[in-house]
């Protein structure tokens, strides 16, 4: 069979597929030929080879993302439209959820050495790259929007304050932030609540940046950052409050007892902990299907693993942490991610100069895909406020949530 015959059959399969799902896309081939999809077509997909064309005949979302990242295809149009197109192309043959990673792989992905390696691979892309599209406090986690018109800067500061209020943070209290990122929360808590804060991270780039910010703001007397694994935090001086924001996704199911057990030992009786993390909406704890989970593991978040929120609450309870409040922020994260995508797209040239075309594409498609997944309800995110009860079983906490919404 000649190459021309093979290509002709592939073209027929792709054309039939586009008609079948009424995909609003035009496909431009490497030879200039244009296959028109349903009108109007806000997306144009350029295919650079016959090999890349095969992925369009029976694609998965993960395969489409890989083709884009590897430069086998180019996309013109809004990433919102691109994600809707991708879902349409796989709608009748892809499951929202796939299986779990093999047990050995889950264990191997979460020892100290691999956790440090995985964190550094994700976060040490470069402080300058993240500065292009994060807010002014460099908060790399879900923002908190009081209105749809809130700016990203405003929404992130509202989130920082929301956490401090939930923790009922008081002047002089000791706060530990596990996975402190670029220091947004520990700096906010020290400046606005008078807390004595310690942030820990496994990212050398983040560690250097937070040290510089502490010196710039003259907060050395009440703010500290350490390059440290959460499992190695000394337990001789318990903390009044503990936060973990956007770090929980790296822990892994097998390590939940270790993680929450460590938090309980670090927390004084009567203290509060805030665990803010992404969850799957699959009750069985399955990861995202259609090749999405594999793409994220290979290109973005090696070793990441999501659990259903019920699993998280159960393991907190097993380790002696009682859940007092749970808040779902799913629509907030979809909105946050689209802000990040729009800001990164506006800085394409600067980002390309810093990290190259391939890495730029990884981040664009990853964040746009995540925004779509939150919008569709495939994944979610929860703030879980828990506490370590006193010896008599009580936990100092208001009877209502009024303290969260005071003027």
Model pLDDT for residues 251-270, shown as the tens digit of each residue: 988 999 999 999 999 999 99
Residues in the chain: 407
Euclidean distance between CA atoms 266 and 236, whole angstroms: 8
Euclidean distance between CA atoms 388 and 321, whole angstroms: 5
Residues 180 and 207 in one domain: yes
Domain of residue 74 covers 3-90
Domain assignment of residue 191, yes or no: yes
Euclidean distance between CA atoms 324 and 171, whole angstroms: 23
Domain assignment of residue 198, yes or no: yes
Q: Which helix (H) or strand (E) holds 216?
A: helix 204-216
Residues 178 and 242 in one domain: yes
Domain assignment of residue 132, yes or no: yes
Residue where a domain terminates, one of 34, 63, 90: 90
Total count of domains within the chain? 2
CA 236 to chain centre: 32
Q: Which residues pair with 280 in a beta bridge?
A: 379
Domain assignment of residue 97, yes or no: no
Tokens standing for 87? 């879902």
Provide the pLDDT for residue 92.
Answer: 54
Residue where a domain terminates, one of 69, 90, 111: 90
Domain assignment of residue 64, yes or no: yes
Provide the pLDDT for residue 105.
Answer: 46
Euclidean distance between CA atoms 34 and 345, whole angstroms: 26
Residues 42 and 15 in one domain: yes
Euclidean distance between CA atoms 238 and 234, whole angstroms: 9
3-state secondary structure of 149: coil
Provide the pLDDT for residue 75.
Answer: 92
Residue where a domain terminates, one of 64, 90, 116: 90
Residues 25 and 134 in one domain: no
Domain assignment of residue 125, yes or no: yes
Residues 273 and 303 in one domain: yes
Which positions ≥6 away from 335 have C-beta within 8 Å? 143, 145, 148, 155
Residues 114 and 74 in one domain: no
Residues 62 and 110 in one domain: no
Residues 64 and 121 in one domain: no
Residues 62 and 113 in one domain: no
Are 122 and 317 in contact by the 8 Å Cβ rule? The answer is: no
3-state secondary structure of 200: strand
Q: What is the CATH number of the domain that holds 252?
A: 3.40.50.150
- Please identify every stretch of the chain with a pLDDT value under 70, giving residue numbers as ranges: 1-8, 91-124, 287, 289, 407
pTM of the predicted protein model? 0.90
Alpha helices in 22-149 (DSSP H): 50-57, 61-69, 79-90, 103-108, 112-123, 127-131
3-state secondary structure of 343: helix
Euclidean distance between CA atoms 395 and 34, whole angstroms: 66
Euclidean distance between CA atoms 222 and 175, whole angstroms: 10
Place of tokens 């077509």: 41
Residues 220 and 348 in one domain: yes
Euclidean distance between CA atoms 107 and 241, whole angstroms: 29
Domain assignment of residue 98, yes or no: no
Provide the pLDDT for residue 32.
Answer: 85
Residues 78 and 109 in one domain: no
Largest Cα span, the chain: 81
The number of helix segments (H) and strand segments (E) in the chain equals 16, 11
CB-neighbour burial class of residue 193 (10 A; exposed 0-12, middle 13-18, buried 19+) = buried
Residue-averaged pLDDT of the chain: 88
Q: What is the CATH number of the domain that holds 29?
A: 3.30.1050
Place of tokens 């956007």: 246
Residues 188 and 75 in one domain: no
CA 125 to chain centre: 15
Are 368 and 82 in contact by the 8 Å Cβ rule? The answer is: yes
Tokens standing for 52? 């890349």
b/e per residue, 385-407, with b = 16+ CB within 10 A? bbbbbeeeeebeeeeeeeeeeee
CA angle 387, 391, 397 (to 5 degrees): 40
DSSP annotation of 248: G
Provide the pLDDT for residue 192.
Answer: 98
């Amino acid at each position: 069979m000649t190459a021309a015959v093979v290509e002709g059959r592939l073209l027929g399969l792709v054309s039939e597929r586009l008609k079948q799902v009424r995909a609003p896309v035009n496909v431009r081939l490497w030879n200039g030929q244009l296959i028109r999809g349903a009108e109007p077509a806000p997306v144009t997909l350029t295919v650079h080879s016959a090999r890349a064309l095969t992925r369009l005949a029976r694609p998965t979302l993960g395969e489409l993302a890989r083709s884009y990242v590897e430069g086998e295809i180019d996309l013109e149009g809004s990433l919102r439209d691109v994600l809707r197109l991708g879902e349409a192309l796989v709608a009748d043959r892809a499951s929202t959820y796939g299986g779990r990673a093999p047990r050995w792989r889950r264990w191997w992905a979460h020892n100290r050495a691999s956790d440090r390696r995985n964190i550094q691979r994700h976060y040490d892309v470069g402080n300058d790259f993240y500065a292009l599209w994060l807010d002014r406090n460099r908060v790399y986690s879900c923002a908190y929007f009081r209105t749809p018109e809130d700016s990203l800067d405003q929404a992130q500061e509202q989130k920082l304050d929301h956490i401090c209020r939930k923790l009922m943070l008081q002047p002089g209290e000791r706060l530990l932030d596990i996975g402190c990122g670029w220091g947004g929360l520990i700096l906010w808590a020290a400046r606005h609540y008078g807390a004595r804060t310690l942030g820990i991270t496994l990212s050398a780039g983040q560690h250097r940046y937070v040290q510089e910010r502490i010196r710039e703001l003259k907060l050395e007397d009440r703010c500290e950052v350490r390059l440290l694994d959460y499992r190695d935090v000394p337990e001789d001086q318990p903390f009044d409050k503990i936060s973990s924001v956007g770090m929980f996704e790296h822990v892994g199911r097998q390590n939940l007892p270790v993680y929450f057990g460590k938090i309980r030992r670090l927390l004084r009786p009567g203290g509060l902990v805030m665990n803010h993390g992404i969850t799957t909406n699959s009750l069985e704890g399955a990861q995202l299907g259609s090749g999405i989970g594999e793409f994220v593991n290979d290109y973005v978040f090696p070793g990441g693993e999501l659990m259903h929120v019920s699993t998280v609450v159960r393991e907190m309870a097993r380790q002696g942490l009682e859940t007092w409040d749970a808040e779902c922020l799913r629509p907030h994260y979809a909105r946050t991610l689209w802000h990040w995508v729009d800001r990164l797209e506006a800085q394409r040239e600067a980002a390309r100069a810093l990290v190259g075309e391939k890495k730029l594409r990884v981040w664009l498609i990853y964040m746009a895909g995540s925004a779509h997944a939150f919008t569709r309800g495939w994944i979610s995110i929860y703030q879980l406020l828990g506490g370590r009860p006193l010896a008599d079983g009580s936990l100092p906490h208001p009877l209502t949530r009024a303290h969260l919404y005071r003027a």
